[in-house]
Structure 1
Amino acid sequence: MVNIYLVRHGKTMFNTIGRAQGWSDTPLTKEGERGIIELGLGFKAKALTFDLAFSSDSGRTIQTMGLILKHSENEGIPYRFDPRIREWCFGSFDGGYDGELFDGVLPRVFVENGEEQSFEAIANAIYEVDTAGWAETWETLSGRILNGFSDMAKEAQEKGAKNMIIVSHGMTIATLIKLLQPDKPRPHGLDNGSVTHLTYENDHFSVFKVGDMSYREIGKKIMSEKHDDH
């Protein structure tokens, strides 16, 4: 059985000012870096060693992974990037303010179509209103996400890995969980640096904790104690 520790990247500049990041990219802020250092220290305190590491090919996930591996003392393990676990592409709305997209354009589309805001409806609505022609249909988006994570888990299983770490994005992680648990409400508000714990055995995913912040809390306590010592 493979334990999968699926992490949302650290807080970025666009996260801080409420912009839809998508396939555009901004670096972690100082606060974002600190949160991921906390996470790494939390993993270290729990003596978690990873056999494999994957992230999307976005700068913010690569930066996050570097901090995690360093501060959890897991540097040097096999690590690859995979574009299939990127964030959703918001097309011509990439980099725009969240409010313009999620509170403006999309609600108008939903009112016109009379659809509830499922992930499928959101993805197809973005595709419909994207003037750049970059956004993905739900079929394309959900397919790449599920295939990407499945291939990573299969590889880990074949290599006999016990623990693997993956760094991805908020809506991508939430989409994966919804695809694995279609009868449950979709996850909301996955915090930066949160950990979603999955297992993979006999080609099957099981979901345990979604958006767990306990590792960060452990690391935060360690950092504050170090600060107090000085």
Structure 2
Amino acid sequence: MIKGLLASLLILSSATVFSAETVPASDNNQDASVTIWFARHGKTLLNTLDRVQGWADSPLTADGKRVAEYLGAGLKGVAFDGYYSSDAGRQRETMQIIVQQLGVKNYQLNELIGLREACFGSFEGGFNRDMAAAAARQLGLSGPEELFTRMKAGTLTAEASMNALSHADPSGITENYQQVKQRTQAALHTIINHALKSQQKNVLAISSGTALQIMISDLTDNPQKNKPLANSAVVKLIYHQGKIDVTEIGTMKYVEAGKRSLTLAR
């Protein structure tokens, strides 16, 4: 039965593998600033089952929807000018819930394939523990427990873990670190350039945990970048005069603020 369920959930797009959005040349006012509020999608069914979910997709659970509502409520003080996600249903669904809380109507969601989660190849749909064991063997670690411990402590880089998975995948489909970084950073620059051209100040984008970690991996020295992101956690970036500053990594303060406000309202 679980095989049938997983088969219905492993929805992979037919778009070109490893494609990256073109980064347009920009002759915009370099004094302008753009703040991009990235959030990881809400908790999904495959997250709950502790199954690998990269290009595989599944819907948000009741808990995932509730926490996404909290995030939306916590972001109510921000006037967003643009909205982005990948083509993954869980990212679209998270955005829908957030904008509903924000009271935004008739918004345009721009989908960038570069914002997809990392592709985990033949590990997709399997147990996270089995994928971690494969990566641990590549890294010479004692097992998945040591790998998870290092990830939570932030002592294992996203580059090391992603490359280990790529080498461990017998199908050769799992992306490596450079491939994920190239497409996620290309998507980031697409967002920035469009925002500059359109004079947008605040942009909301929904992506996924590993993709976001890799996107910011060489944009900051903050060791928090190596720690896994919770569902609905926020990563905030500010672009100004050709420089990108990562000012918040994995914060849940917007979720917590939204939970307080909705609890009081009810």
Q: Select 1:147's aligned residue among 175, 178, 186.
A: 186
Contact 2:158 2:210 in 1 (8 A): no
Query: Residue by residue, what CA displacement relative to the aligned partner does 1:59-82 show, whole Å, maximum 9, x if unpaired?
Result: 100000011111111232332111
Q: Which position in structure 2 is the counterpart of 1:93?
A: 123
2:102 aligned with 1:75, yes or no? no
Q: What is the rounded CA distance, in whole Å, between the counterparts of 2:83 and 2:110 in structure 1?
A: 7
Q: What is the rounded CA distance, in whole Å, between the counterparts of 2:177 and 2:71 in structure 1?
A: 32
Q: What is the rounded CA distance, in whole Å, between the counterparts of 1:55 and 1:163 in structure 2?
A: 15
| Structure 1: tracts of 5 or more residues without a match | none
Match runs of 1:80-159 below 5 Å: 80-102=110-132, 104-111=133-140, 117-159=156-198
% identical aligned pairs: 33
Query: Residue by residue, what CA displacement relative to the aligned partner does 1:25-58 show, whole Å, maximum 9, x if unpaired?
Result: 11100000000111111112x2x12110000111
Number of equivalent positions: 220
Q: What is the rounded CA distance, in whole Å, between the counterparts of 2:214 and 2:233 in structure 1?
A: 15
Q: Counterpart of 1:179 in 2: which secondary structure? A: coil
TM-score, normalised to structure 1, is 0.89
Q: Select 1:169's aligned residue among 208, 215, 238.
A: 208
TM-score, normalised to structure 2, is 0.78
Q: What is the rounded CA distance, in whole Å, between the counterparts of 2:218 and 2:103 in structure 1?
A: 33
Q: Select 1:202's aligned residue among 241, 250, 261.
A: 241
* Two-structure CA RMSD over aligned residues (Å): 1.7
Contact 1:50 1:77 in 2 (8 A): no
Give 1:17 shift: 2.1
Q: What is the rounded CA distance, in whole Å, between the counterparts of 1:201 and 1:184 in structure 2?
A: 19
Q: Select 2:47's aligned residue among 15, 32, 48.
A: 15
Contact 2:177 2:214 in 1 (8 A): no
2:69 aligned with 1:30, yes or no? no
| Structure 2: tracts of 5 or more residues without a match | 1-32, 142-154
